[in-house]
Homo-oligomer: A and B are copies of this chain.
Amino acid sequence: MQLKSLSKIFSPNSIAIIGASHERGKVGYEIVNNLLNGKFKKEIFLINPKGGKILGKKVFKNIFEVKEKIDLAIIVVPSIICPQVLEEVGQEGIKYAIIISAGFKEFGVEGAKIEEKIKKIAEKYEISFLGPNCLGLINPYQNLNASFGANLPEKKGNIFFLSQSGAILCGFLDLADQNNLGFSKIVSLGNKANLSENDFLEFALNDPQTKVVLAYLESFVDGKKTIEILKNNPQKPLILLKAGVSEKGKKAASLHTGSLAGSNEAFEAFIKKTNVIKADSLKDLFNLVKGFSFQNLSEKNKIAILTNAGGLGVLGTDAIEKFKVKSLKLKVESSLELVKLNEETKDFLRKKLPLSCSLENPVDIIGDAKADRYKIALEAILKDKNVSAVLVFLTPQKMTEPEKTAEIIVSFFKKYKKPIFTCFFGQKSVEKAIKILEKNNIPNFDTPEKAVEVIQKMLGNNQIFEETKNINQLIISEKQKIEKVLDKACSQKNLEPEKVAEILKICKIPYPKFVIAFSEDEAINKAKELFYPLAMKTAGSEILHKQDVGGVKLNLKNEQEVKKAYQEIVKNISNIAGDKNNKEIKKVIIQEMVTSGEEIIIGMKRDEQFGPLIMFGLGGIFVEVLKDVSFGIAPLNYNEAKEMIYSIKGYDILKGARGGKEKDIDSIIEILLKISELSIAFPQIKEIDLNPVKVFEKGYSILDFKFILF
């Protein structure tokens, strides 16, 4: 679906409210009331078959009575008559609508039918609509409050708020109102029958009034599209709270990769790929948006802490240390750092502050600090060239002057333009001071830990992973050859090994030499083409987990052992096979053993929301017991593939821990990129398991492989 221009829905020149009500308390009345109170400057037409007046304004009996051009229709009629109303909207040539009415998909089967109807009508007339079952939207810059929420704030600001729950939107705005948060646009998404988060996200990321996008989502309509939109707008932060995390999706999969890759893993891979800032709770969402909306953090990470309580300083330092460890694990380079203050700064402070103050960062001006001591210390710290941002802590003690201190902070923030964050810890005694701070865009947080967490996430957001070019692993002629192989195999679910091998060969992915045999004699004869020791595996297309059913024999050293292995495998498979005469039972693959190298696993499954999910892990216990695997969403670029390898816990094994030699990590990146490309180019492939793969000091070999087709 083409993304739509949404400027008319946010800045219409004229609005018709279809279903405007005369009755106070009804949604059709409240929305009119909100629009008129909001001092929206453009035309408003009220529509109700009863006619008359609402709030002193003329009511038209139907939209055809309105002679002027209507840009946007707001529909608040019962769901059952929505299709008819939308037909009329279409006939009138109105291209944008907000369907507030409830009674659709959320009401069960009957409602869902009506929803399908309005979707079709919208398609026919090319109408873009928000909803149904939503609160509406607000554009403070147009004084447009096209919602029926109670006392929704309309403070102008830089936050684009997108919510899939009207109720959570109300609570959040109530919270925001008390903390000086201003909005560029507010959208209640409702059932997303037509316009979805993707349409609004694309608009928001290109909206000059928007600095940060805030989203509460319970589902994605098209995660792949979301990734594309975010990749094209890497500079504007999106803070996302996703509700409805679940384990579903794992059960449906047939291969190893699938059983490890649930929708939650896919969502985490999405977060990693897009650099979206994930909020872990509603409070987190609120704290993060405060930081991002109020302040700009340069890429510099040198922070100074100023406090009147040693304890708060320790807690802040602990939090910085905690995040440092986490960041190292993620191989992110720039963690927050407690800056070493200049000697001149310390000399100055030494002269000006009481003896018992601590001049090392955190600077502790101790419990009896009044506002004047904060003033001296804060100015010196802000002047220090080493310092890129300041965290000011205050707890109300006997001599503390919270409000006066807040005013000093505000004035220095304006003067020195360095980012300042605060934690005025307490409640009654600091309430007024916090209001002063936040009114002036200095975000205050409940605790030192929370302040550090937000700053760290703001810093992380500056770290756009370098977008390396997608080095194409496959050329067109190769793709055409693969297409042909797959075409011939389209009736098979579990692609036969010869065909998989053909595809791997085209992709220049190496695997050990093998032969296929359908009888004992053939096995013995064909084994002569190979070097001992050998491995033999059943190649029946219906057997997915060969090892579990006695379908694998390893380390065969001579003809005798090949013979015996064949007999045993066929016997084992016969025992479990439904159709005893099936030729597949007799089919085995015999291949040369590879005993050296480190075992890894690579796989792919398709996630409903985000598309192909590539998996990487070390083999054996790492994948089976420790579930130490990483995921990435295709198409992968070089850095993403590298990050996948880095981020497993057992990474040091590949680097040669415990006296081993370093393995060929570049070659692993190469396979990951090739599998990524295959999964994008060939949607008919449902799942891939390369397990085990052996990685050597140079190169690799795929010891076993499975492709499952749709």
Contacts and interface: CB of A to CB of B under 8 A. Distances in A.
A174 B426 contact: yes
B171 A245 contact: no
B283 A450 contact: yes
A315 B242 CA distance: 9
A60 interface: no
Contact of A653 (B102, B151, B625): B625
A167 B625 contact: no
Contacts of A308: 167
A492 interface: no
A322 B30 CA distance: 40
A684 interface: no
A374 interface: no
Interface stretch (A392-400, A462-470, A688-696): A392-400
A283 B356 contact: no
A310 interface: yes
Interface string A365-402: 00100000000000000000000000000011110000
Contacts of A309: 165, 167-168, 171
Interface string A650-686: 1011000110000000000000000000000000000
Interface in A160-198: 164-168, 170-172, 174-175, 177-179
Counting every copy of the chain, the complex holds 2
A312 B174 contact: no
Nearest to A325: B247
Given A282-B315, A621-B658, A658-B621, A396 B429 contact: no
Nearest to A314: B243
A171 B658 contact: no
A700 B281 CA distance: 48
Interface residues of A, number: 70
A396 B314 contact: no
Given A311-B165, A621-B650, A282 B175 contact: no
Nearest to A148: B398
Interface string A513-556: 00000000000000000000000000000000000000000000
Interface in A583-630: 620-621, 624-626
A397 B170 contact: yes
B625 A396 contact: no
A168 B395 contact: yes
A450 B286 CA distance: 14
Contacts of A429: 151, 174
Given A175-B427, A427-B175, A658-B620, A150 B398 contact: yes
Contacts of A170: 395-398, 426
Interface stretch (A227-235, A441-449, A483-491): A441-449
Contacts of A243: 311, 314-315, 318
A216 interface: yes
A447 B177 contact: no
A398 B24 CA distance: 12
A309 B170 CA distance: 10
A280 interface: yes
B149 A398 contact: yes
Contacts of A321: 245-246
Contacts of A175: 425-427
Nearest to A364: B167
A286 to B, nearest CB: 9
A367 B166 contact: yes
A281 B167 contact: no
Contacts of A150: 396-398
A218 interface: yes
B425 A282 contact: yes
A550 to B, nearest CB: 12
Nearest to A658: B624
A280 B319 CA distance: 10
Interface in A313-341: 314-315, 318, 321-322
Contact of A356 (B106, B624, B625): B106
Contacts of A165: 309-311
A397 B147 CA distance: 12
A177 B245 CA distance: 37
A649 interface: yes
Contacts of A448: 281-282
A67 interface: no
A649 B620 contact: no
In the A-B complex, list the 7 residue pairs whose CB atoms are closest, starting with the nearest: A167-B309, A165-B311, A171-B395, A174-B426, A171-B425, A281-B449, A243-B314
29 contacts: A102-B356, A107-B355, A149-B397, A150-B397, A151-B429, A165-B310, A167-B309, A167-B312, A167-B397, A168-B395, A171-B309, A171-B312, A172-B426, A174-B395, A174-B427, A175-B427, A243-B318, A244-B318, A245-B318, A245-B321, A246-B321, A281-B315, A282-B315, A282-B425, A282-B448, A283-B447, A621-B650, A621-B657, A625-B652
Given A168-B311, A175-B425, 15 more contacts: A150-B396, A150-B397, A165-B310, A166-B397, A170-B395, A170-B398, A172-B426, A243-B314, A243-B318, A244-B314, A280-B449, A282-B446, A282-B449, A621-B658, A624-B657
Interface of A: 30, 102, 106-107, 148-151, 164-168, 170-172, 174-175, 177-179, 216, 218, 243-246, 280-283, 308-312, 314-315, 318, 321-322, 355-356, 367, 395-398, 425-430, 446-450, 620-621, 624-626, 649-650, 652-653, 657-658
